[in-house]
Amino acid sequence: MLHEYREQISVLKQENAHFAKIFDEHNNLDQKIQDITEGREHLGDMELRELKRKKLELKDEAHAIIMEYIKEQKN
């Protein structure tokens, strides 16, 4: 997720507990979705869509936090 911001993610995971939580939750959802799509776990289409929607929300929130952090670092 957001590989181009590796340095910022590393810092934020240590300094921002909320960011660390949503980052970990995103990664957990990513793994669960992968397990479902590869057949290791079973879930209906509606539930899978909901997991993907939640994962995208978390990614958007993490991105917003990263952008705010970058903005603060420039000031």
Q: What is the DSSP letter of 41?
A: S
Q: pLDDT tens digits for 45-72?
A: 999 999 999 999 999 999 999 999 999 9
Nearest to 57 by CA among 18, 22, 19, 33: 22
Q: pLDDT tens digits for 16-53?
A: 999 999 999 999 999 999 999 999 999 999 999 999 99
Q: How many domains does the chain have?
A: 1
What is the structure's pLDDT at 8?
96
What is the structure's pLDDT at 46?
95
For residue 16, give the 3-state DSSP assignment.
coil
pTM of the model: 0.88
What is the structure's pLDDT at 75?
77
Residue 10 belongs to what domain range? 3-74
What is the structure's pLDDT at 3?
86
Q: Radius of gyration over alpha carbons of the chain, in Å?
A: 14
Q: What is the DSSP letter of 38?
A: T
DSSP 25-40: HHHHHHHHHHHHHTTS
Q: Among all chains, which residue has been given the structure tokens 């992968």?
A: 34
